[in-house]
Structure 1
Amino acid sequence: MKPTNSSPALSGLIAATYTPMHSNGDLNLEVVSSLVDHLLGSEISGLYVCGSTGEGMSLTTGERQQLAEAFVDAANHRVPVIVQVGHNSLRDARELATHAESIGAHAISATCPSYYKIADSDSLVDCMCEVATAAPETPFYYYHIPALTGSSVEMPEFLRLATERIPTLRGLKYTDTKLHEFMACKNATSDDLDVVWGCDEMLLGALATGANAAIGSTYNIAANIYQRVIESFAASDFDNARKWQLRAVEVIRVMGQFPFHPATKAVLEMQGVPVGPCRLPLGRLSETQLKSLRAKLTEIGFFNWNRGEDTTGASR
């Protein structure tokens, strides 16, 4: 397949997938198919593998390749699989990119190196060009997450330069809270480029500024809530859209009272998908924390909401 700008744009909710692990922190690849089935049952429209949510930076290069293969196999062409290949070593990132192309990933994505901070657009384009050219037949999305990479390069300028130098550039995963910059990115690019939202608690605002797709962590556990935000917005039922977005915010606020990713993995287990703990430095919840998490989510109505029920118990 010739890459890129002609490939279909991403749409809907794309889950930033968690990495199933055994209690000792080893990969538990046997659970990947169950996780994929759970997500597709929630009408997830894509999978973003080995990102921040999936602890990609805590995995070895070999483990990331094994995990990418497991998700591509489990998805079996039912939804796009985007493999995050960013690495502090650009040579490792290139190896991961080449591997992702060889297993048939729909697209690759990459953070920039983060130990040595990137402060200007030209350097960022240089780095991402190194990664993208290792998979010359696969669409490429830059992963902008300045809170973790420390790179605050202006994204509209990056996209302008990258469009000229990265033939496989397909778009951007925008994980920041600056709706004005997100809007500027969409306005600064051609219709061929895909700017995807990455902040779950602000999905409604992103829809209002033109988002067609979103990638996020809490779509693993609360996709039905976000689907109602999208459906209500599409129907111009803005009161209902705000109601369901607020419920998503309430869920995230509860999750934020605990170590976030271990807590989200714990909720997946409550939903019947045993993804296990996180690796250090993220760790796991104590039994006391687990009980408190379940109680707090029950108190706000999360488990009812995620079954498609409102506070009166009316079905979706």
Structure 2
Amino acid sequence: MKLNPPLHELVVATHTPFHADGSLAPEVVPAQAAFLAANGIRSVFITGSTGEGHSLTCAERLAMYEEWAVSGPACGLRVIAHVGGNCIEDAKTLARAAESLDFAAISALAPSYYKPGNLAALVDCCAAIASAAPQTPFYFYDIPAMTGVSFPMEKFLAEAAERIPTLAGIKFTNPDLVSYRRSLEVAGLRFDLPWGVDEMLLAGLASGARGGVGSTYNWAPKLYFDLIAAFTRGDLAEAQRLQNVSIAMIDAIAATGFLGTAKALMGRLGVPVGPARLPLGNPTGGQVDALVSQLDELGFQEWGAK
């Protein structure tokens, strides 16, 4: 089942908003959605890695679904819900909820505690989850650096296509460009493979990517819109320059803990998504001040979200 139109665009992996005490803050989502839409974003990927999905209870994820189901469409945003986790039954519950809320698609990463021991077991997991939402396109979320599960995605596409009628493609958060190119070859026009490594977007585009899902698109969408435009018109030098800026930006944010610092940056932009939850850390106010200065030196006033 193809997602129409496919994810041939920048898709923001959204933060899950929390209060200062770490409790869920769904009331922030309307402002979050409006901010992203105002900066040119049309699709969001919720409760994934950037959304601290593994740090949310099933009930909290359902609460976020309910809020995004209203706030996303109100701002013209398509919503893709990450439903995966270590408990397949919870994943099926989340998939059913996403379908009932008419989300554009669902996605699931591999279980990472009891890991699937072979490709067939991974396909079994995905098929079980996708079957709970039989009218909704399904994307496998390949992120081996986080899950520790790594199988050839070109073989996954071949096997899963026979088992998962709703398979739409793969969210490819894996820097293995050889595997990506092989997977694109197998995918052809049947499957959609949005790229998921922001600091390698240019390499993904050169390999054949037509869209990307990423966290840094929250606060720097113009940087990546400009990068894609430069690549499309054949200005490789400018595309490389912008990718260098992206890498420097990510390095600066990661220096004080990527996710907590990224959420603090959103707060400075007027979207109070709060702190990251344990076991992740959060920067001090002084560290955020220093980061903002670094980003301004990189040209954030020009390419950052407004």
TM range (shorter): over 0.9
- The structure-2 alpha-carbon separation of the partners of 1:101 and 1:246, relative to structure 1 and needing over 3 Å to count, comes to same
Q: 1:198 aligns with which of 189, 196, 199?
A: 196
Shift of 1:270: 1.3
Pairing 1:75–2:56 present: no
Instruction: Tell me the alpha carbon deviations over residues 171-215 of structure 1, each in whole angstroms, 9 at most, x when there is no partner.
Output: 100001111111111101241210110000010111111111100
Contact kept? 1:6, 1:192, Cα under 8 Å:
no
Q: 1:250 aligns with which of 236, 248, 263?
A: 248
Query: Which residue type is aligned with residue 235 of structure 1?
Result: R
- The structure-2 alpha-carbon separation of the partners of 1:115 and 1:28, relative to structure 1 and needing over 3 Å to count, comes to same
Pairing 1:57–2:54 present: yes
Shift of 1:256: 1.6
Query: Which residue type is aligned with residue 208 of structure 2?
Result: G
SS of match in other structure, 1:197: coil
> Partner of 2:114 in structure 1?
116
Shift of 1:307: 6.4
Shift of 1:69: 1.7
Q: 1:145 aligns with which of 140, 143, 167?
A: 143
Instruction: Say which is worse superposed, 169-178 or 288-297, in terms of deviation.
Output: 288-297
> Partner of 2:206 in structure 1?
208
Contact kept? 2:221, 2:305, Cα under 8 Å:
no
Q: 1:12 aligns with which of 9, 12, 22?
A: 9
SS of match in other structure, 2:17: coil
| Identity level (%) | 42
Q: 1:262 aligns with which of 260, 263, 269?
A: 260
Query: Which residue type is aligned with residue 92 of structure 1?
Result: D
Contact kept? 1:175, 1:199, Cα under 8 Å:
yes
SS of match in other structure, 2:81: strand
Instruction: Tell me the alpha carbon deviations over residues 242-300 of structure 1, each in whole angstroms, 9 at most, x when there is no partner.
Output: 11111111111111211100111111111111111111111321223222222322333
- The structure-2 alpha-carbon separation of the partners of 1:213 and 1:263, relative to structure 1 and needing over 3 Å to count, comes to same
Shift of 1:6: 6.2
SS of match in other structure, 2:170: strand
SS of match in other structure, 1:198: coil
- Residue segments in structure 1 that go unaligned for 5+ positions in a row: 309-316
- Residue segments in structure 2 that go unaligned for 5+ positions in a row: none
Instruction: State how far apart, in whole Å, the 2-side matches of 1:79 and 1:199 are.
Output: 22
Contact kept? 1:119, 1:153, Cα under 8 Å:
no
> Partner of 1:27 in structure 2?
24
> Partner of 1:311 in structure 2?
none
Shift of 1:79: 2.6
Query: Which residue type is aligned with residue 147 of structure 2?
Result: T
Instruction: Tell me the alpha carbon deviations over residues 91-150 of structure 1, each in whole angstroms, 9 at most, x when there is no partner.
Output: 010000001101111100001110012232101000100100000010000000001111
Instruction: Say which is worse superposed, 189-198 or 156-165, in terms of deviation.
Output: 189-198
TM-score where L is the length of structure 1 = 0.93
Contact kept? 2:220, 2:305, Cα under 8 Å:
no
Instruction: Say which is worse superposed, 98-107 or 68-77, in terms of deviation.
Output: 68-77
- The structure-2 alpha-carbon separation of the partners of 1:307 and 1:31, relative to structure 1 and needing over 3 Å to count, comes to closer
| Matched length | 305
SS of match in other structure, 2:117: coil
Shift of 1:230: 0.7
Q: 2:169 aligns with which of 168, 171, 180?
A: 171
Instruction: Say which is worse superposed, 216-225 or 115-124, in terms of deviation.
Output: 115-124
Shift of 1:70: 1.0
Instruction: Say which is worse superposed, 63-72 or 13-22, in terms of deviation.
Output: 63-72
Contact kept? 2:33, 2:77, Cα under 8 Å:
no
Instruction: State how far apart, in whole Å, the 2-side matches of 1:268 and 1:284 are.
Output: 13
TM-score where L is the length of structure 2 = 0.96
Instruction: State how far apart, in whole Å, the 1-side matches of 2:40 and 2:103 are.
Output: 20
> Partner of 2:288 in structure 1?
290
Instruction: Say which is worse superposed, 106-115 or 241-250, in terms of deviation.
Output: 241-250
Q: 1:183 aligns with which of 181, 184, 191?
A: 181
Instruction: Say which is worse superposed, 279-288 or 290-299, in terms of deviation.
Output: 290-299
Contact kept? 2:275, 2:282, Cα under 8 Å:
yes
SS of match in other structure, 1:76: helix
SS of match in other structure, 1:245: helix
Instruction: State how far apart, in whole Å, the 2-side matches of 1:204 and 1:45 are.
Output: 21
Instruction: State how far apart, in whole Å, the 2-side matches of 1:269 and 1:55 are.
Output: 17
